[in-house]
Structure 1
Amino acid sequence: MTEEWRLRARCRGMPLEMFFLTSTEKGSVRAAHESNAKRICLPCPVRQRCLSYAMEIGEQHGIWGATTPAERTAMRKRAVS
């Protein structure tokens, strides 16, 4: 599988910490961190491909395609229902 789409991602070159939360982040701090990452993702030209990739590999961490792990889990559950 080619991953050339990553070269066009808005997040390319940004610190990984922007998209991967720590287990100590809770409540409003966590929500703000997720919101900031999603703000970068939403206008990204490869957002849908990024989300598809995360879904294909079952990614359980980080913001991918402007979605959280919980949002992707919900999407997977809806897809099998």
Structure 2
Amino acid sequence: MRIASWRLRAACRGQPLELFYGPPRDDDDTGRGPRETPSQKAKREARAKRFCDQCEVLDECLTAQLALGRGQQYGYAAGMNEDERVAYRRRMMRTAKRRAEAREGA
């Protein structure tokens, strides 16, 4: 598998996946191990955000996230959590729709 060259320069490279996706949830027969509390998630995401804040390839990461169609459903990536990415995508879609409508009306 070929890794996009920008990923090799990502500030998060080599960090544990749990920092960006939360604790593994496969420690029982149901595949649903312990959940993190909202407070634990907020603290984890704040730590993950520090990597994104200093990352030189944040734009490339965001572009990659948006290229996933509906986007990455879980985890912290491109400086945003899953809810923030959904809101960002919706804003971008509304902006594109308004621009298209303005062109049609011009």
CA distance in 1, matches of 2:59, 2:37: 27
Could you list the runs of 5+ residues in structure 2 that have no partner in the other structure?
A: 26-34, 95-106
How many Å separate the matches in 2 of 1:16 and 1:47?
17
Structure 1 match to 2:51: 40
Q: Give how far 1:44 is off.
A: 0.5
After TM superposition, the score normalised by the length of structure 1 is 0.87
Superposed CA RMSD in Å reads 1.6
% identity of equivalent residues: 40
Structure number with greater Rg is 2
Find the residue that maps to 2:14 and give its secondary structure.
Answer: coil
TM-score of the pair, normalised by structure 2: 0.69
Partner AA of 1:71 in structure 2:
E
- What residue in structure 1 maps to residue 6 of structure 2? 5
SS at 1:19 equivalent: helix
- Which residue identity is paired with 2:67? E
Tell me what 2:99 maps to.
Answer: none
Write the deviation string for residues 40-70 of structure 1: whole angstroms up to 9, x where unpaired.
Answer: 1111111111111112111111111111010
2:85 aligned to 55, 72, 75, which one?
72
